[in-house]
Each structure stands twice: as C-alpha cells, then as structure tokens.
Amino acid sequence: MIEEIQILNNKSAAQKPRAVEISETTNGFNVYIETYGCQMNVNDSEIVAGILAQSGFGITDKIDNSNVILLNTCSVRDNAEAKIFKRLEQLRFYRKQNSKLLVGILGCMAERLRGKLVGHQDLVSIVVGPDEYRKVPEMIEQSMNGEVGIAVKLSRVETYDDIIPLRTQGISAWLSIIRGCDKFCTYCVVPYTRGRERSKPFPVVIKELIDLYELGYKEVTLLGQNVNSYIDMENKVDFAKLLVECAKAVPSMRIRYTTSHPYDMTDELIEAMASHHNICNYIHLPVQSGSDRILQMMNRHYTVEHYLDRMRKIKELIPNCSLSTDIITGFPTETEDDHKATMDLMAEVRYDGAYMFNYSPRSKTKAYMMEDDVTPDVKGRRLTEIIEQQNKISRELNEAEHGLIHEVLIEGTSKKNKNEWQGRTDTNKVVIFDNYEQNYKIGQTITCKITRSTSGTLFGDVV
Ligand code: 5AD
Ligand code: SF4
C-alpha cells in the first residue's frame, strides 16, 4: 500500500539520505553523517558537522572511510522510523568489517525513543536529541572507551547561534531561524521531539545571511518548523519584518522560507513577499485537511474559510505565486464527506504540488488516544484519489507554463542526463534545458522559455 507521496518538482535533497561536506581529521575520528527527514534535519546535520569539525573531527562523505556513523533521524511517521531500523541492520555489515566502528542516532528518533535505542542491534552507543548537539564530540570520545551516551534534554534557549554550520558546498544554503513548535497539532510528535519555540536573534540571522552572500551562495532558505511564528521580542522583529530586512540586506540573493503555518500567514507577510523581487514567489502552506471538523480535531487553529481567505490574498497580491501543501488522509473519524471536502479544497486552490501522507499514530500525541479507525484500505484508496487529482492539477498548471519565460538559477547537470542542465525558477519549479555545449556555470541565472513539461518538471530553451 502507498503510505505517502510527494507530487512536487522541488524534491528537496532531504528526501534522500545525504552526507555533509568534507573536513580533514586531526584527532583520528572520521565521521559520516546520514540525514533523513525534513530540511531542519539537513541544516542540523550541518550544525553537528560544524561542531565536530571545530573539535578536530574529520567529516567524510564516504561511509567506507568512516569510523563513526551518525544517523540524523525523523519520527514524524512510523515509516520514517522503520527506515532507520532497516538502515541499522545494514550497518551491521560495516561493524563486521570494523569492530571499533561507532554508531550514533541523532534527531527526533533519539529524542523519542531514548534509551530504547541504546545497544540496538548491538550497535548504537550514542543517542543525542536535537538540543544537545554540542555534546556530540565528547560523547564520541567517551563511547570510544566503551561508554554508552544518551543526551536528550530539550532546551528553551538553544538556537546554535554561535555555531558555523559545515554546509554542503553549492549555491543554496539552509538557515534555521526558529527551532521547536508550540502549535501542538494533535497528530504531531514534533513538539515532543523538538521542544518549545525559540527564535534566533535578528542581528545573528542578518549576519549569517551576509556571511552566506560573501561566501558566494545565491539562494538562502529560512527554516523553521513554523517559520512564520518567528519573533525577536528584544528587537521587535516578526517574520514579515525579518523577511523584508533579509531581502534588503542581500538584494541579489534569492530568499525562500519553509514551513509556514496558515494561522501566522499575515497580510504583512504576503505584502512583504509582493513588494520585494528577491523574495521568491513560492509558498508551502500545509492545510492538512479540507474539513473544519477534522481541522478542529487536529487543533490546527484555523478554518477552511480562513485558509481560503489567505489563498485569495496571496493570489491577489502575488498572482504568479506557486503553492504547495501537506495533506493527511485517514485522520481518526475521517468520513467520506471529510475526504471529499479535502478533494474539493485541493481542486479549488489548485496547488502546484503537494506532500500527501496517510495518518500515522504517534505515541505521546493527543490523537494517539483516539481510535485509528480509518482502515488501511480506506486510507490507501483516499490517498490514491488525492494523488491522482493532484497529479492532474500539477500537469495542467505546468502545461499552462508553456511559452512563458522564467529566470532560472542553474543548480547543476540534470540527474537523468549529464548533457542537460538543471535549474530552478523563482517559483521553485525545476527546469531542464540542454545547450550543454554552452559553458554555463552553476550559480548563474539564465532566461528560459518553457517548451514542454510533465507533472513534476518543466523543460525549456535558453533565450
Ligand atoms: N501522520 C501523518 N502525517 C503526519 N505529519 C505530521 N505528523 C503526521 C502523522 N502523525 C505530516 C503533516 C506535516 C508534515 C511535515 O508531516 O502533514 O505537515
Ligand atoms: Fe507538527 Fe503542527 Fe508543529 Fe507542524 S505546526 S511541527 S504539524 S505540531
């Protein structure tokens, strides 16, 4: 049965496990970090790599060269955790080759499962939650002496604002500006694994941004579980103001942000996007369901009417803004009518893309107390219906792009065909174009006329 799918042409690097950038060892440890889950985790791995590199640890992107393997994990759905348990089984192979190999679990699963992970597969000796990454170097050293280490305290203040992340070289950087979540949606484990909301001070965000510009990055994505509830009380800066200040500080850089909550999608924020050319015209605004009854049970703090009003405002002020969302099917008590309301909402908004998931009960959450009463068959069928409808809409919206001209930031060669280039529009759509013989450079912006498309990709010619 399908359990989740994304129909998007912005499949992020976070979808596949990924290693971070390389750094030489001075203390004999070579650490390989594999990242699962959301973009916050991708940036957290860069933070861990930064902390380790500062203490003399080597960071390698080749698992065979490593003597420490860290998995940065996700707990949001059961299948995310199942993937890690499978991976641990595979890692036994590396342990057989090197009995001194250390394996650690970082991130949300570490926070959620804690001691239960220690010794798993006779393998895991380090367990570190999202707010304790400063301890990773000493824990690796202690674990070398046979000790087992767990650090899973959540913090109300930790933002790692003095740590320089060891970023994967490229043109696009992640910058986390707020950690944790205070929304407590009833299905979601994040408030328990990542703790309370806390924002990075405004001057620190601007400094990091300017540093990224000076390092040659062309695009930055401001990150947070609820990025638009950012608030720096001391400097009186909310998210709309922060976005404007970021856009002004680096006018030639593209600024993106994710993920926002409909409750905090203010007029000021939409106006800020509309009035600054370098704030990208793309919004990921998870709706989760199109039924008011389910939204209330989910504790989402908005109604369908409020959500649609936000969409109208966005379309009014930013007519070419592309939109994506998250949907959960089969939340407890979801009826055919609730499901139809979700289908109707998606048909009304006409998202460019969507991440769609079957509901997965998570212990500790409020919904966990409710009976998971939508059968797997019904969940699967509803998910398929949503996916098919979204596929059709994505295809139609991409077809409507034929003949249009976009500025495309070149990201590299196409993954499918090394003789083609791949870039991204301001609206976050992937564009493939050939002209390989031209000596384009990664990070260069070119103008492309869209000639054809699929539901997930645009194809164009340079003009
Ligand atoms: N089951 C299914 N999907 C979930 N999400 C969060 N928690 C769950 C869960 N228990 C989805 C939401 C959220 C996205 C990151 O993951 O759609 O927006
Ligand atoms: Fe989870 Fe809701 Fe917070 Fe998003 S807003 S991280 S879905 S609790």
**Total of domains in the chain:** 3
Comparing 15-19, 130-134, 322-326, the range with the smallest average pLDDT is 15-19
Ligand 2 contact via 188 beta carbon (within 6 Å)? yes
The closest residue, in CA terms, to atom 5 on ligand 2 is: 183
Ligand 2 contact via 51 beta carbon (within 6 Å)? no
Confidence of residue 14 (pLDDT cuts 50, 70, 90): very low
Q: Are residues 66 and 187 in the same domain?
A: no
pLDDT digits (tens, 9 = 90+) for 415-452: 888 889 999 999 999 999 986 667 788 999 999 999 99
Ligand 1 contact via 328 beta carbon (within 6 Å)? yes
pLDDT digits (tens, 9 = 90+) for 128-167: 999 999 999 999 999 988 888 999 999 999 999 999 999 9
The average pLDDT across 405-415 equals 93
Give the Cα separation of 241 and 219 in Å (integer).
Answer: 19
The average pLDDT across 63-74 equals 96
Contact 436, 398 (CB under 8 A): no
What the block records as the tokens of 411 is 């990201």
The closest residue, in CA terms, to atom 12 on ligand 1 is: 326
The closest residue, in CA terms, to atom 2 on ligand 2 is: 185
Which position has the token pair 């404007």?
244
Q: Are residues 277 and 145 in the same domain?
A: no
Report pLDDT for 4. Answer: 65
What does the radius of gyration of the chain's CA atoms come to, in whole angstroms?
22
Query: Which neighbouring-strand residues pair with 126?
Result: 104, 149
Q: Are residues 242 and 276 in the same domain?
A: yes
Give the Cα separation of 253 and 131 in Å (integer).
Answer: 30
> What's the helix, strand, coil split of the chain in %, to 5?
35, 25, 40
Q: Of 176, 179, 185, which is best to mutate to test ligand 2, by the most ligand atoms within 8 angstroms of its C-beta?
A: 185
Q: Of 328, 351, 369, which is best to mutate to test ligand 1, by the most ligand atoms within 8 angstroms of its C-beta?
A: 328
Residue 163 lies in a domain: no
Q: Are residues 47 and 143 in the same domain?
A: yes
Give the Cα separation of 225 and 286 in Å (integer).
Answer: 11
Q: Shortest CA distance to 273 belongs to which of 206, 306, 215, 227? A: 227
Q: Are residues 144 and 184 in the same domain?
A: no
Q: Ligand 1 centre and the CA of 265: distance in Å?
A: 19
pLDDT digits (tens, 9 = 90+) for 213-228: 999 999 999 999 999 9
Give the Cα separation of 276 and 267 in Å (integer).
Answer: 14
Q: Which domain holds residue 306?
A: 172-399
Give the Cα separation of 274 and 271 in Å (integer).
Answer: 5
For the entire predicted model, the pTM comes to 0.94
Report pLDDT for 147. Answer: 87
Helix (H/G/I), strand (E/B), else coil: 232: strand
Residue 11 lies in a domain: no
Contact 291, 342 (CB under 8 A): yes
pLDDT over 60 (residue 297): yes
Ligand nearest to the CA of 260: 2
Confidence of residue 19 (pLDDT cuts 50, 70, 90): low
Ligand nearest to the CA of 302: 2
Q: Shortest CA distance to 246 belongs to which of 214, 270, 222, 274? A: 222
Residue 109 lies in a domain: yes
Domain final residue, candidates 102, 119, 151: 151
CATH number at residue 54: 3.40.50.12160
pLDDT digits (tens, 9 = 90+) for 249-287: 999 999 999 999 999 999 999 999 999 999 999 999 999
Atom of ligand 1 nearest to the CA of 189: 7
Q: Ligand 2 centre and the CA of 340: distance in Å?
A: 23
216 residue type, one letter: G
Report pLDDT for 8. Answer: 57
Q: Ligand 1 centre and the CA of 49: distance in Å?
A: 27
**In whole numbers, what is the pLDDT of the chain averaged over residues?**
93
Report pLDDT for 319. Answer: 95
Residue 4 lies in a domain: no
Q: Of 40, 357, 365, 382, which is best to mutate to test ligand 1, by the most ligand atoms within 8 angstroms of its C-beta?
A: 357
Confidence of residue 18 (pLDDT cuts 50, 70, 90): low
Which position has the token pair 């399908």?
2
Q: Ligand 2 centre and the CA of 244: distance in Å?
A: 25
Q: Shortest CA distance to 425 belongs to which of 433, 415, 417, 435? A: 433
**What percent of the chain shows pLDDT beyond 70?**
95
